[in-house]
A and B are shown apart, each in its own frame.
Chain A
Amino acid sequence: MSHDKTKKQAELIREISGVNPYKCMKCGKCSASCPSFNEMDIKPHQFVSYVLNDDLEALVNSKSLWKCLSCFACIERCPRDVKPGKLVDAARQLVVRERGGDFLSADEIPEKLDPELPQQLLVSAFRRYRR
Chain B
Amino acid sequence: MQRIGVFVCHCGSNIAATVDVKKVVEIVRNEPGVVHAEDYQYMCSEAGQALIAKAIAEKNLSGIVVCSCSPRMHEATFRKAAERAGLNPYMVEIANIREHCSWIHKNVEEATEKAVILARAAIAKVNLNAPLKAGESRVTKRALVIGGGIAGIQTALDIADAGYEVDIVEKTPSIGGRMSQLDKTFPTLDCSACILTPKMVEAAAHEKITIYTYSEVEKVSGFVGDFTVDIRKKARSVDMDKCTGCGVCQEKCPSKKTPSEFNRGLGNRSAIYTPFAQAIPNVPVIDRDACIKFKTGKCGICSKVCQAGAIDYEQKDEIVTEKYGAIVVATGFDTIKLDKYDEYAYNQSKDVITSLELERVMNAAGPTKGHLERLSDGKHPKNIVFIQCVGSRCSDDRGKPYCSKICCMYTAKHAMLIRDKYPDVNVTVFYIDVRTPGKNFDEFYRRAVEDYGVNYIKGQVGKVAPQPDGSLLVQGVDLLDNKQILMEADMVVLATVIEPDPSVRKIATMLTASIDTNNFLTESHAKLRPVESPTAGVFLSGVCQGPKDIPETVAQAGAAAVKAIGLLAKDKLLTNPCTAKPDELLCNGCSACANVCPYGAITYETKLINDHGIREERRVAQVNNALCQGCGACTVTCPSGAMDLQGFSNRQIIAEVDAICR
Instruction: Establish whether A and B are touching in the complex (CB under 8 Å).
Output: yes
On A, residues with C-beta under 8 Å from B are 23, 25-34, 37-38, 43, 45, 73, 77-81
Whether A32 contacts B462 in the complex (CB less than 8 A), given A26-B432, A38-B484, A43-B482, comes out as yes
Whether A34 contacts B432 in the complex (CB less than 8 A), given A79-B393, A79-B394, A81-B395, comes out as no
Contact A33 B479 (CB under 8 A): no
Select which of A26, A30, A32, A81 is within 8 A of B463 by beta carbon. A32
User: In the complex, what residues of B have CB within 8 A of residue A30's CB?
Assistant: 462
Whether A23 contacts B432 in the complex (CB less than 8 A), given A33-B463, A43-B482, A73-B462, comes out as no
Minimal Cβ-Cβ distance residue in B for A46: B482
Contact A29 B462 (CB under 8 A): yes
Contact B460 A29 (CB under 8 A): yes
Contact B477 A25 (CB under 8 A): no
Select which of B393, B461, B477 is within 8 A of A45 by beta carbon. B477
Select which of A27, A38, A81 is within 8 A of B460 by beta carbon. A27
Contact B394 A80 (CB under 8 A): yes
* B residues 415-444 touching A (CB-CB < 8 Å): 432
Whether A32 contacts B396 in the complex (CB less than 8 A), given A26-B432, A43-B482, comes out as no
Give Cα distance in the complex from A28 to B484, angstroms.
Answer: 10
Contact B399 A32 (CB under 8 A): no
Give Cα distance in the complex from A29 to B398, angstroms.
Answer: 14
Give Cα distance in the complex from A25 to B479, angstroms.
Answer: 12
User: In the complex, what residues of B have CB within 8 A of residue A23's CB?
Assistant: 395
- B343 near A: Cβ within 8 Å? yes
Minimal Cβ-Cβ distance residue in B for A82: B395
- Shortest CB distance B466–A (Å): 17
- B5 near A: Cβ within 8 Å? no
Contact B396 A28 (CB under 8 A): no
Whether A26 contacts B394 in the complex (CB less than 8 A), given A31-B459, A32-B484, A38-B484, comes out as no
Contact A28 B394 (CB under 8 A): no
- Shortest CB distance B417–A (Å): 26
- Shortest CB distance B445–A (Å): 19
- B476 near A: Cβ within 8 Å? yes
Give Cα distance in the complex from A23 to B395, angstroms.
Answer: 9
Known: A43-B482, A81-B396. 4 other contacts (CB 8 A): A33-B343, A37-B484, A78-B396, A79-B396
Question: How many contacting A-B pairs (Cβ < 8 A)?
Answer: 65
Whether A34 contacts B484 in the complex (CB less than 8 A), given A28-B459, A77-B343, comes out as yes
User: In the complex, what residues of A have CB within 8 A of residue B398's CB?
Assistant: 79
Contact A77 B462 (CB under 8 A): yes
On B, residues with C-beta under 8 Å from A are 343, 389, 393-396, 398-399, 432, 458-463, 475-477, 479, 482, 484
Contact B462 A34 (CB under 8 A): yes
Minimal Cβ-Cβ distance residue in A for B388: A27
Whether A32 contacts B475 in the complex (CB less than 8 A), given A27-B460, A73-B462, A79-B394, comes out as yes
Give Cα distance in the complex from A94 to B459, angstroms.
Answer: 30
Minimal Cβ-Cβ distance residue in A for B484: A37
Contact A27 B389 (CB under 8 A): yes
What 9 A-B pairs are tightest by C-beta distance, nearest first? Answer: A33-B462, A32-B462, A79-B394, A28-B459, A32-B477, A29-B460, A31-B477, A37-B484, A28-B477
Give Cα distance in the complex from A59 to B534, angstroms.
Answer: 52
Minimal Cβ-Cβ distance residue in A for B396: A81
- Shortest CB distance B565–A (Å): 42
Give Cα distance in the complex from A31 to B458, angstroms.
Answer: 12
Minimal Cβ-Cβ distance residue in A for B463: A33
Give Cα distance in the complex from A45 to B475, angstroms.
Answer: 15
Give Cα distance in the complex from A81 to B477, angstroms.
Answer: 19
- Shortest CB distance B344–A (Å): 10
Contact A32 B432 (CB under 8 A): no
User: In the complex, what residues of B have CB within 8 A of residue A27's CB?
Assistant: 389, 393, 432, 459-460
User: In the complex, what residues of A have CB within 8 A of residue B432's CB?
Assistant: 25-28
- Shortest CB distance A84–B (Å): 12
Contact A79 B482 (CB under 8 A): no
User: In the complex, what residues of A have CB within 8 A of residue B482's CB?
Assistant: 43
Give Cα distance in the complex from A29 to B463, angstroms.
Answer: 9
User: In the complex, what residues of B have CB within 8 A of residue A31's CB?
Assistant: 459, 462, 477, 479, 484
Give Cα distance in the complex from A37 to B486, angstroms.
Answer: 12
Contact B395 A32 (CB under 8 A): no
Give Cα distance in the complex from A73 to B199, angstroms.
Answer: 49
Minimal Cβ-Cβ distance residue in A for B479: A28
Give Cα distance in the complex from A16 to B398, angstroms.
Answer: 25
Max chain B C-beta neighbours (<10 A), residue from A31, A45, A79: A79
User: In the complex, what residues of B have CB within 8 A of residue A32's CB?
Assistant: 459-463, 475-477, 484
Give Cα distance in the complex from A26 to B432, angstroms.
Answer: 7
Max chain B C-beta neighbours (<10 A), residue from A29, A30, A37, A78: A29
Minimal Cβ-Cβ distance residue in B for A78: B396
User: In the complex, what residues of B have CB within 8 A of residue A77's CB?
Assistant: 343, 462
Give Cα distance in the complex from A31 to B482, angstroms.
Answer: 9
Contact A45 B343 (CB under 8 A): no
Give Cα distance in the complex from A26 to B433, angstroms.
Answer: 10
User: In the complex, what residues of A have CB within 8 A of residue B461's CB?
Assistant: 29, 32
A-B contact pairs, 14 of them (CB 8 A): A23-B395, A31-B462, A32-B476, A32-B477, A34-B484, A37-B477, A43-B477, A43-B482, A77-B462, A79-B396, A79-B399, A80-B393, A80-B396, A81-B396
Max chain B C-beta neighbours (<10 A), residue from A38, A77, A80: A77
User: In the complex, what residues of A have CB within 8 A of residue B394's CB?
Assistant: 79-80
- Shortest CB distance B228–A (Å): 45
User: In the complex, what residues of A have CB within 8 A of residue B484's CB?
Assistant: 31-32, 34, 37-38
Give Cα distance in the complex from A30 to B458, angstroms.
Answer: 14
Minimal Cβ-Cβ distance residue in A for B458: A28
Give Cα distance in the complex from A85 to B343, angstroms.
Answer: 18
Give Cα distance in the complex from A77 to B390, angstroms.
Answer: 11
User: In the complex, what residues of B have CB within 8 A of residue A43's CB?
Assistant: 477, 482
Give Cα distance in the complex from A127 to B458, angstroms.
Answer: 36
Give Cα distance in the complex from A33 to B463, angstroms.
Answer: 6
User: In the complex, what residues of B have CB within 8 A of residue A29's CB?
Assistant: 460-462
- Shortest CB distance A130–B (Å): 29
User: In the complex, what residues of A have CB within 8 A of residue B396's CB?
Assistant: 78-81
Give Cα distance in the complex from A73 to B460, angstroms.
Answer: 14
Give Cα distance in the complex from A25 to B393, angstroms.
Answer: 9
Give Cα distance in the complex from A34 to B482, angstroms.
Answer: 13
- Shortest CB distance A17–B (Å): 17
User: In the complex, what residues of A have CB within 8 A of residue B389's CB?
Assistant: 27, 79
Give Cα distance in the complex from A77 to B477, angstroms.
Answer: 14
Give Cα distance in the complex from A34 to B610, angstroms.
Answer: 85
